[in-house]
Chain A
Amino acid sequence: MISIIETAFDPWQSIASYQKKMQRDGEYGACATFVGTMRDFNQGDSVNGMLLEHYPGMTEKHLEKIVVDAEKQWQLLDTLVIHRVGELLPNDPIVLVVAWSAHRKDAFEACRFIMEDLKSKAPFWKKECVVSANQQTQKNRWVEKNTSGY
């Protein structure tokens, strides 16, 4: 399942409730998970908030394509991708990627693949609110590129 949401979520709660609904008990032996969380620093600056913009329609379409690509390469029982958009605060979970499989290799590798592809190609953009060292001023700036995941 792919979900783009505008409100805060608890990734651990999301995994538990989705896994229950999946009705694959006894089939999966591995569940690999990645949770991306908002930091309160970036490039040496303090950050106290963030706005996440996306391209409605293309985002969902692209994430579906990534999951289909993963399903072609690994034996997966199910996947879950949740991504926040809108206004976020430090420590808010941003993204959740989960892959269920019979064995760990497929689950680990598919989870990594989905996450790396999402980071490099899914149409999301972050604008962060940077606070000056003396906490007196703040400014908004677009994050220009993601760090390499490898």
Chain B
Amino acid sequence: MPIKVLYFASLKELFGCAGQQLDSKGLTTVGDVWQQVSKDREYSQTVLHSVNQEYADLDTLVKAGDEVAFFPPVTGG
């Protein structure tokens, strides 16, 4: 089962899509997923992350079937 990756707001525009499916092989942490999708590109703004809809750190562990999301600082309310 793959890892489901989602992007929101300005990151969705930067990536040009709302998300993608990744083969979980070789991906242990959120940081690994970010490295794979961002391809080491530099982003001027802060990027936040979540795993299965809860805030996570770059060293949070991921596994097949997880939903991992990347998004900019929130601006609701």
Which residues of A does B touch, CB under 8 Å?
A: 36, 52-55, 57-58, 61-62, 83, 94-95, 115, 118-127, 142-146
Contacts and interface: CB of A to CB of B under 8 A. Distances in A.
A57 B53 contact: yes
Prevailing SS type, chain A contact patch: mixed
Contact of B74 (A36, A61, A94, A120): A120
Given A53-B8, A55-B8, A127-B9, A144 B74 contact: no
Contact of A146 (B9, B50, B74): B74
Of the four ranges (under 10, 10 to 19, 20 to 34, 35 or more), the interface on chain B belongs to 10 to 19
Contacts of A118: 76-77
Interface centre among B6, B72, B75 (most CB of A within 10 A): B75
A142 B76 contact: no
B60 interface: no
Nearest to B12: A53
Interface centre among B45, B54, B73 (most CB of A within 10 A): B73
A83 B9 CA distance: 17
Contact of A119 (B55, B71, B76): B76
B72 A123 contact: no
Contact of A58 (B45, B50, B73): B50
